[in-house]
Structure 1
Amino acid sequence: MGYQPAVKNLLDQINSAEGPGIPEMTVEENRAGLAALYKDLVGEPQEVKKVENINIPSHDGEKIGLRIYTPEGEGPLPVLVFYHGGGWVLGDLEVIDPIMRWVANETSTMVVSVDYRLAPEYKFPIPAEDCYTATKWVSENIQSYNGDPKRIAVAGDSAGGNLAAVIPLMAKDRGGPNISLQILLYPVTDFDTTTPSYVENGKGNYLETEAMYWFNDNYLNNEADKKNPYAAPMQARDVSGLPPALVFTAEHDVLRDEGEAYVERLRQSGVPVEHTRFDGQIHGFFWMPVIMDDAHKALAQIKNALKKQLSTTV
């Protein structure tokens, strides 16, 4: 189908804007640009009962920042560990702060937002290892924050969706932590840029093929990394036994086909999957609740999935 009116309006604004594209800008310029783009799309930050910033040690001795959002409600609360998008290069706790507050309040779930270290300063596998370390820390320590370590879900969008698919694979290989649900919002699952969705949507649909080349080059060390399942979960030999998945894809997104291929891969391996393709929609819509009704529809599905898989009263 065509574009939803809100999508078309946004694309018209983006595509008519003067200035260089992502590949022509520096990392710093792109980081500032992402924050500026979403400033008016994420909405005003809601009040949350409690918000805490803490630092935990990474696997290599450096620090990983976590922001813990505790909504109203009797504990211990179910926990959602969230890894933000931005091509492993862009994004931070501040950009998605209003989204995390919204998710915590609407789902009555404790949200732990992970400030994993970014490429190209920290290339693969450091962002993935940081997210694994953070998730393991949550499993071992969240009880003291009134979270329930037996009810942990992971989630992320785009590159964060990639990480949310990778962490359950790591947990399976490494004997924990136990994850009850994986929520993958338009995830990167492979590095094949020849799929029909890349061909159809690679220009003028917000996330462009040339930008993905730039993100991939900044994140990966070499061609071999593209075959590593901790970078490309589609490359995993065995995805059986992974936690149930909720997966969103968008019709006009270069990442559509690889997300849907991963859905099929999980299903064929016996993993319960709920999948929604948002027709007429583009990449990144979940960060745009001010203008995109689909962001609210997606959150309603997330709320239902958390309720179903974590047996909560949300």
Structure 2
Amino acid sequence: MNIQKLIVRTLLKLPDGVLIRMSGGKPLAIDGRILDARMQFLAAQGARQPSIVTLDPVAARAGTAAGLALLDDAPRAGVSVRALEVPGPAGPLAARLYTPKGAAGPLPGLVFFHFGGCVIGDLDTCHTFCTMIADIAGIAVLNVAYRLAPEHKFPAAVDDAEAAYRWAEAHAADLGMIAGRIGVGGDSAGGYLSAVIAQQERRAGRPGPALQLLIYPVTDWEWQGGSMQSCADVYPLTAEIMDWFAGLYLDNEAERKDVRVSPMKEPDLAGLAPAIVVTAGFDPLRDQGLAYADRLKAAGVPVTSRCEDSLAHTFTAMTGVVPAAKAACEKIAEDVKTALH
């Protein structure tokens, strides 16, 4: 463990009251929710750093990766990890397959996509979380790195995600998965891509995924008001950063209305895959995630939905320093187990 990581983890073991005093003197409350003390400490430290909107995408990716490495837990020891490549529409996509050690026979599967606004992130972004899902849910997880903007603008990420899911279904036996019992999932941009895949498969007349796991998903890139306003300046995702992502990912404002960009704009959600929708209380995306869950329920889709009120965006990558984030991720993995088994 390097010295910076040791310092961060030592500080975050301090009592809640001490962390609050070091982070402004009183708990941060928004919309009737109170932010976890460790999240608030991280937010106070993050506010002192340059925003990623001041960086070029390459530097932003490197800086984000370095920061998250200080916060994530160690991968689960009971999981085997294998590197592989998935054929994509423009070339091979890097991927990792996570399988519980000692698993007998094919298992239900999940194709997972990382967060990052379709601009930042990679296989390491959700590495630990994927091991948690595989271990706790007892399933095989395929973590796929899709192409990023601005080098590859919309619809590159969507095309890659669709191709990865369809490839997994076609090669289920090789992956140790059960064809027809493979879900899609992800956090933030990964949740957005998963929601789009579920809709695209239905449009194509295919059975579609067995599950859509949507963790603080982007569902409407035109969303205004509500948490987009009240949580506009909350670490680590701000409304300004969302606009920065959109400017790099999309070619023009009109693309925000495309259902492959904003799945909320699809008028008919009936017949889509069962969903697990988990949002964070201190997140600009909170309200659009909850609204999408409500629309799915109204359309007759089986939905497990909740808001982790004390947490902020990207909590899936903070399991090493925020106990509430680790507990939330373990609960998500239990939900996936229930849904796919």
With normalisation by structure 2, the TM-score equals 0.86
Q: Which moved more, 1:263-272 or 1:173-182?
A: 173-182
Does 2:77 align with 1:37? no
Aligned length: 308
Secondary structure of the equivalent of 1:279?
A: strand
* Matches of 1:84 and 1:233, distance apart in 2: 18
Look up the equivalent residue of 1:7 and give its one-letter code.
M
Could you say which residue in structure 2 is the equivalent of 1:5? 37
Contact 2:320/2:326, CA 8 A, preserved across alignment: no
With normalisation by structure 1, the TM-score equals 0.93
CA drift of 1:55 comes to: 1.9
Does 2:314 align with 1:284? yes
Q: Which moved more, 1:117-126 or 1:140-149?
A: 140-149
Does 2:182 align with 1:152? yes
Contact 2:136/2:334, CA 8 A, preserved across alignment: no
Does 2:284 align with 1:254? yes
> Radius of gyration: which is bigger?
2
* Matches of 1:102 and 1:41, distance apart in 2: 15
Could you say which residue in structure 1 is the equivalent of 2:46? 14
Could you say which residue in structure 1 is the equivalent of 2:117? 87
Once the two structures are superposed, residues 279-313 of structure 1 have per-residue CA deviations (whole angstroms, 9 ceiling, x without a partner) of 122111111111223333333333333333222xx
Percent of aligned positions that are identical:
37
* Matches of 2:224 and 2:212, distance apart in 1: 26
Could you say which residue in structure 2 is the equivalent of 1:63? 92
Once the two structures are superposed, residues 63-113 of structure 1 have per-residue CA deviations (whole angstroms, 9 ceiling, x without a partner) of 222211111221211111100001101000123222222221222111100
* Matches of 1:49 and 1:10, distance apart in 2: 29
* Matches of 1:254 and 1:42, distance apart in 2: 22
What does 1:162-311 align with in structure 2 at a 5 Å threshold?
A: 162-176=192-206, 178-311=208-341
Could you say which residue in structure 2 is the equivalent of 1:123? 153
* Matches of 2:112 and 2:131, distance apart in 1: 12
Structure 2 gap ranges (5+):
1-32
* Matches of 1:49 and 1:297, distance apart in 2: 19
Q: Which moved more, 1:115-124 or 1:193-202?
A: 193-202
Return closer, same or farther for 1:304/1:106 CA change in 2, 3 Å cut-off. closer
Contact 1:48/1:69, CA 8 A, preserved across alignment: no
CA drift of 1:26 comes to: 0.5
Look up the equivalent residue of 1:10 and give its one-letter code.
L
Contact 1:136/1:176, CA 8 A, preserved across alignment: no
* Matches of 2:140 and 2:308, distance apart in 1: 27
Look up the equivalent residue of 2:134 and give its one-letter code.
A
Look up the equivalent residue of 1:6 and give its one-letter code.
R
* Matches of 1:220 and 1:48, distance apart in 2: 40
Once the two structures are superposed, residues 123-182 of structure 1 have per-residue CA deviations (whole angstroms, 9 ceiling, x without a partner) of 111101100100000001021232111211111001111111111011111233531111
How well do the aligned residues superpose, as a CA RMSD in angstroms? 1.6
* Matches of 2:35 and 2:79, distance apart in 1: 38
* Matches of 2:75 and 2:86, distance apart in 1: 25
Contact 1:136/1:177, CA 8 A, preserved across alignment: no
Secondary structure of the equivalent of 2:247?
A: helix
What does 1:69-80 align with in structure 2 at a 5 Å threshold?
A: 69-72=98-101, 73-80=103-110
Look up the equivalent residue of 2:97 and give its one-letter code.
I
Secondary structure of the equivalent of 1:210?
A: helix
Secondary structure of the equivalent of 1:170?
A: helix
* Matches of 1:161 and 1:248, distance apart in 2: 10
Look up the equivalent residue of 1:75 and give its one-letter code.
G
Aligned to 2:140, which of 91, 110, 114?
110
Return closer, same or farther for 1:263/1:157 CA change in 2, 3 Å cut-off. same
Contact 1:193/1:209, CA 8 A, preserved across alignment: no
* Matches of 1:125 and 1:177, distance apart in 2: 22
* Matches of 1:123 and 1:48, distance apart in 2: 37
CA drift of 1:254 comes to: 0.3
